[in-house]
């Protein structure tokens, strides 16, 4: 094995990347993604403290939910403590039960699969495509025809005997995946759709907001997201029954009574605190400007990287408007083996970069989970590099 | 059945209760319990917003944890999103597994049993005593001798065949239960102790803080607690391995690496956001004064209720210092049937009151759970009335 070639390549590519990024953001200190607080954050948070309502009851939670439905077009929004909790509840109300299987991509944040595991269901990994990093609908069709059959109105995995109850399409780094291809397939195979739009606030497919295509969708407002509530998430749905159930479960499934403490099922302490919602209300007011800023950053990067042949900058797919949450470089296949050193060199040079997540089917707790062949997942997982993406960098 | 007697009694007792409470708090608007923000809440929260670190990373989370260890005497504290999450993680790191049994009281907030259920373990309800509303150690000894046996170093329920892995003593309304009797028994029966001190910040048994007696303990900072972080909880332990594991699980079980996303087991998104911890730091500074205020309220109620023979005001048990989180009336047995009307009358008269929780073994999802006989639980659950308890009322 010749060690020199990759080391030299790593150095060369790192230098080009650092130069391109510096050309865009100058000498600014940078992180991968940090929030921007330039609106009424102080005002609303102070008002919340002054009201005394900082916890699970308060006007900001409802206001936040209303603003979210207004912005996304979803009929209902239920604000919860974080995106993971949103996904957990979304799967439960979609009907996922102990020992079911749920189709998930492997190239996603671990919460996508963990939320399935919390129910005692099994994540079943399926492959993605290189166009939008989303689940590959054509491949999935062939795969489901091969491994499953419809029995008593549900999709059964012929090999494991388990019901394949739901699928969690994930919009990686905020880039919309093609649900128009996926939805008819899910319908045909009787599989419920819970969209993991954790990273996709402000992303649209054909002018429809991500998270509003499936039976339910979830968005995250963690500190590293486009807007933040400290910790927070929301469940979106157009279905009043699912919405009512999700809200009920998020508030310990307490029945509506003026004073008695009666709970109707096993519920959760998942309601978003009012304090966090107050922050969220202020953040949402700035969303259009934040999205503009991130789009400016994309355009600047696009120009700066146009002549670097070793990498390509990810561009929103056709018909899509991406929030460009994390700007994404794809390293050419021939340089895959250099990625680790490139990232180390960039960090050394003061540029925050990171690889995509280790694919979940390679993590110890999921390595024996059911899975289709995952060639594109495996390939992309070695090639993706995220670069500084905060709003306000340009 | 004679309906007149109870109705008249209800009216009579309600009037006396309303009068006694008004004698203490005057005509103040009251709730059962609300937070007091008179310290540096705004200063710290503003500082947190200005820092940009509002989420799972930030100095306030660590500061909050340090202040908690200082105050409680626990060696380690791990701050999480709420008390339920703390209990869930506490049980996991104590070793509770799918299909285990966990001994819990039935007269507790539903989260105590729910946290057991999240793991796929079964709550097994045991009776309490009337002295401190805690699990009755003597009764439990006899019960365990009857139903269990030690096999391969663990306690096995002879009837169900399941391992009885842990017990969750709960300090009801902040009043310490007698762990000195319970701990040797748990030791003998190889049962781990996870204390539910959700309501017991500022409560001590023999000068030792509640939540520090068991293998682990948890405290809640929900909006209705003595101090609040909006939503929040903490896990206490003296065991470095349990502490490390709990923190690891609370932060998605992500391994410590400068940039790679590798997770070693199924973890959770349970870390307390920095924004909430900032609020908590300010609140903790006021804890001594808040506890003094709640103790003044107890003394004033004690005087006001001294001549009302139909109810008794709960007093901290011997050797204990209670935080008097919720002030508690115990209705004499002969008037049990009047409770609902008494509460309705009090509320009608502008006095916030509530009954204790419906005992968990009577909720639909837990009615078939294993249980000892529960005579004291059933009796007390019909007699308890909580009355306005906020600090600052006197």
Report the b/e string of A124-153 with b at 16+ CB within 10 A.
bbbbbbeebbbbbbebbbebbeebbeeeee
Q: What is the pLDDT of residues B276-288, one digit of tens each?
A: 999 999 999 999 9
Answer for the pair B278, B60: CB distance below 8 angstroms, yes or no.
Answer: yes
Answer for the pair B122, B116: CB distance below 8 angstroms, yes or no.
Answer: yes
Contact B37 A52 (CB under 8 A): yes
pTM score over 0.90: yes
CB-based contact, A119 to chain B, within 8 Å:
no
Cα separation, B91 vs B191, in Å, equals 12
Q: What is the pLDDT of residues B347-384, one digit of tens each?
A: 999 999 999 999 999 999 999 999 999 999 999 999 99
Contact B269 A83 (CB under 8 A): yes
What local confidence, expressed as pLDDT, does residue B202 receive? 98
Contact B263 A52 (CB under 8 A): no
Average pLDDT in chain B? 96
Reduce the DSSP state of residue A106 to 3 states and report it. coil
Which whole number is the average pLDDT over A109-132? 97
Contact B358 A260 (CB under 8 A): yes
Q: What is the pLDDT of residues A205-239, one digit of tens each?
A: 999 999 999 999 999 999 999 999 999 999 999 99
CB-based contact, B268 to chain A, within 8 Å:
yes
A236 has which bridge partners?
A77, A217
Q: What topology does CATH give the domain A4-36+287-387?
A: 3.90.1150
Which whole number is the average pLDDT over A3-20? 82
Contact A110 B54 (CB under 8 A): no
Scanning B93-112 for CB atoms below 8 A from A yields 98, 109-111
Distances (CA, A) of A364 to A115, A375, B162, B252: 16, 19, 27, 14
CB-based contact, B53 to chain A, within 8 Å:
yes
CB-based contact, B223 to chain A, within 8 Å:
yes
For chain B, give the percent of residues with pLDDT over 70.
98
On the question of pLDDT at B4 being above 90, the answer is: no
On the question of pLDDT at A263 being above 60, the answer is: yes
The position carrying tokens 């925050």 is A352
User: Taking Cα atoms as reference points, which of A132, A124, A141, A139 lies closest to residue A172?
Assistant: A132
Contact B110 A252 (CB under 8 A): yes
On the question of pLDDT at A8 being above 90, the answer is: no
On the question of pLDDT at B57 being above 90, the answer is: no
Reduce the DSSP state of residue B203 to 3 states and report it. coil
Q: State residue B369 phi and psi, 5-degree precision.
A: -70, 155
Q: Which residues contact B294 (CB under 8 A, 6 or more apart)?
A: B226, B323, B324, B325, B389, B391
User: Taking Cα atoms as reference points, which of B168, B162, B167 lies closest to residue B149?
Assistant: B162
Contact A259 B357 (CB under 8 A): no
What local confidence, expressed as pLDDT, does residue B1 receive? 43
What local confidence, expressed as pLDDT, does residue A1 receive? 43
Which whole number is the average pLDDT over A77-106? 98
CA–centroid distance for B70 within its chain:
20
Contact A358 B45 (CB under 8 A): no
What local confidence, expressed as pLDDT, does residue A320 receive? 95
Q: What is the pLDDT of residues A134-180, one digit of tens each?
A: 999 999 999 999 999 999 999 999 999 999 999 999 999 999 999 99
The neighbour count for residue A183, using CB atoms within 10 Å, is: 16
Min CA distance, B305 vs chain A (Å)? Answer: 23
ipTM: 0.95
- At residue A258 the predicted structure's pLDDT band, cuts being 50, 70 and 90, is confident
- For residue B262, which residues of chain A lie inside 8 Å, CB to CB? 358, 363
Q: Among the listed ranges A237-246, A298-307, B55-64, which one has the minimum average pLDDT value?
A: B55-64
The neighbour count for residue B130, using CB atoms within 10 Å, is: 11
User: Using CB atoms, which residue from B118, B231, B261 is nearest to A55?
Assistant: B231
Interface test with A, best of B44, B119, B219, B263 (most A CBs within 10 A): B263
On the question of pLDDT at B131 being above 90, the answer is: yes
- For residue A37, which residues of chain B lie inside 8 Å, CB to CB? 49-50, 52
Q: What is the pLDDT of residues B179-220, one digit of tens each?
A: 999 999 999 999 999 999 999 999 999 999 999 999 999 999
For chain B, what percentages of helix, strand and coil (3-state, to nearest 5) are there?
40, 20, 40
What local confidence, expressed as pLDDT, does residue A215 receive? 98
Cα separation, B249 vs B27, in Å, equals 48
How would you class A57 by CB atoms within 10 Å of its CB: exposed for 0-12, middle for 13-18, buried for 19 or more? middle
Cα torsion for A313, A318, A320, A325, to the nearest 10°?
A: -10
CB-based contact, B191 to chain A, within 8 Å:
no
Contact B114 A261 (CB under 8 A): no
Contact A222 B266 (CB under 8 A): no
The neighbour count for residue B319, using CB atoms within 10 Å, is: 12
CB-based contact, B161 to chain A, within 8 Å:
no
**Closest chain A residue to the Cα of B384, Cα to Cα:** A260
**Closest chain B residue to the Cα of A113, Cα to Cα:** B266
Contact B276 A273 (CB under 8 A): yes
**In chain B, what are the domain boundaries?**
4-35+287-387, 41-284
The CATH class for the domain spanning A41-285 reads alpha beta
**Closest chain A residue to the Cα of B339, Cα to Cα:** A260
Q: What is the pLDDT of residues A29-40, one digit of tens each?
A: 899 999 999 999
On the question of pLDDT at A2 being above 70, the answer is: no
- For residue A111, which residues of chain B lie inside 8 Å, CB to CB? 252, 269
Q: State residue B227 phi and psi, 5-degree precision.
A: -125, 160
Contact B261 A355 (CB under 8 A): yes
What local confidence, expressed as pLDDT, does residue B105 receive? 98
CB-based contact, B31 to chain A, within 8 Å:
no
The dihedral through the CA atoms of B58, B63, B69, B71 has a sign that is: negative
Answer for the pair A263, A99: CB distance below 8 angstroms, yes or no.
Answer: no
Min CA distance, A189 vs chain B (Å)? Answer: 29
Min CA distance, A118 vs chain B (Å)? Answer: 7
Answer for the pair B36, B391: CB distance below 8 angstroms, yes or no.
Answer: yes
Answer for the pair A159, A147: CB distance below 8 angstroms, yes or no.
Answer: yes
- Cite the beta strand spans of A186-310 per DSSP E: 192-196, 204-205, 208-209, 216-220, 233-237
**Closest chain B residue to the Cα of A348, Cα to Cα:** B258
User: Using CB atoms, which residue from B260, B263, B347 is nearest to A110?
Assistant: B263
CB-based contact, A127 to chain B, within 8 Å:
no
Decide yes or no: CATH 3.50.50.60 for domain B4-35+287-387. no
On the question of pLDDT at A55 being above 90, the answer is: no
Residues in chain A: 394
A218 has which bridge partners?
A196, A235
User: Using CB atoms, which residue from A231, A271, A365 is nearest to B265?
Assistant: A365
Min CA distance, B346 vs chain A (Å)? Answer: 12
Scanning B296-335 for CB atoms below 8 A from A yields none
CB-based contact, B206 to chain A, within 8 Å:
no
The CA-based angle B162-B165-B171, given to 5 degrees, is 125
Cα separation, B97 vs B91, in Å, equals 9
Q: What is the pLDDT of residues A360-388, one digit of tens each?
A: 999 999 999 999 999 999 999 999 999 99
Which whole number is the average pLDDT over B161-179? 97
Min CA distance, A360 vs chain B (Å)? Answer: 9
Contact A85 B269 (CB under 8 A): yes
**Closest chain A residue to the Cα of B84, Cα to Cα:** A269
- At residue B5 the predicted structure's pLDDT band, cuts being 50, 70 and 90, is low
Contact A273 B223 (CB under 8 A): yes
Q: Which residues contact B71 (CB under 8 A, 6 or more apart)?
A: B209, B284, B287
Min CA distance, B393 vs chain A (Å)? Answer: 15
Contact A54 B228 (CB under 8 A): yes
The position carrying tokens 């009755």 is B136
User: Using CB atoms, which residue from A54, A117, A267 is nearest to B230?
Assistant: A54
CB-based contact, B57 to chain A, within 8 Å:
yes
For chain B, give the percent of residues with pLDDT over 90.
94
Answer for the pair B179, B195: CB distance below 8 angstroms, yes or no.
Answer: yes
Interface A-B, measured as beta-carbon pairs within 8 A, has a size of 188
Decide yes or no: CATH 3.40.640.10 for domain B41-284. yes
On the question of pLDDT at A7 being above 90, the answer is: no
Contact A120 B111 (CB under 8 A): no
């Amino acid at each position: 094995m010749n060690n020199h070639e990759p080391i030299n390549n790593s150095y060369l590519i790192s230098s080009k990347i650092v130069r391109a990024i510096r050309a865009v953001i100058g000498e600014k200190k940078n992180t991968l993604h940090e929030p921007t607080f330039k609106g009424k954050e102080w005002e609303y948070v102070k008002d919340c403290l002054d009201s005394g309502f900082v916890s699970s009851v308060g006007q900001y939670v409802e206001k936040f939910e209303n603003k979210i439905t207004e912005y996304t077009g979803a009929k209902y929004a239920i604000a919860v403590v974080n995106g993971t909790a949103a996904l957990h509840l979304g799967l439960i109300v979609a009907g996922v039960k102990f020992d079911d299987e749920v189709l998930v991509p492997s190239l996603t944040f671990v919460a996508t699969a963990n939320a399935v595991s919390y129910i005692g269901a099994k994540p079943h990994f399926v492959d993605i495509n290189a166009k939008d990093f989303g689940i590959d609908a054509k491949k999935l069709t062939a795969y489901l025809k091969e491994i499953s059959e419809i029995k008593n109105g549900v999709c059964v995995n012929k090999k494991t005997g388990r019901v394949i109850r739901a699928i969690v399409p994930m919009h990686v780094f905020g880039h919309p995946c093609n649900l128009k291809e996926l939805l008819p397939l899910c319908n045909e195979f009787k599989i419920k759709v819970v969209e993991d739009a954790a990273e996709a606030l402000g992303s649209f497919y054909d002018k429809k907001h991500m998270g509003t295509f499936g039976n339910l969708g979830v968005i995250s407002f963690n500190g590293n997201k486009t807007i933040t509530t400290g910790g927070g998430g929301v469940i979106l749905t157009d279905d009043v029954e699912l919405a009512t159930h999700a809200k009920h479960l998020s508030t310990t499934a307490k029945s509506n009574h003026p004073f008695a403490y009666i709970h109707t099922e096993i519920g959760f302490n998942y309601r978003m605190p009012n304090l966090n919602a107050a922050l969220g209300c202020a953040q949402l007011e700035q969303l259009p400007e934040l999205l503009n800023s991130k789009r400016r950053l994309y355009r600047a990067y696009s120009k700066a990287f146009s002549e670097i042949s070793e990498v390509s900058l990810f561009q929103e797919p056709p018909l899509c408007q991406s929030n460009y949450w994390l700007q994404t470089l794809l390293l050419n296949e021939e340089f895959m083996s250099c990625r680790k050193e490139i990232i180390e060199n960039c960090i050394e040079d003061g540029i925050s970069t990171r690889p995509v997540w280790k694919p979940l089917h390679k993590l110890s707790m999921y390595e024996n989970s059911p899975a289709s062949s995952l060639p594109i997942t495996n390939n992309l997982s070695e090639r993706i590099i995220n670069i500084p993406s905060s709003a306000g960098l340009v």
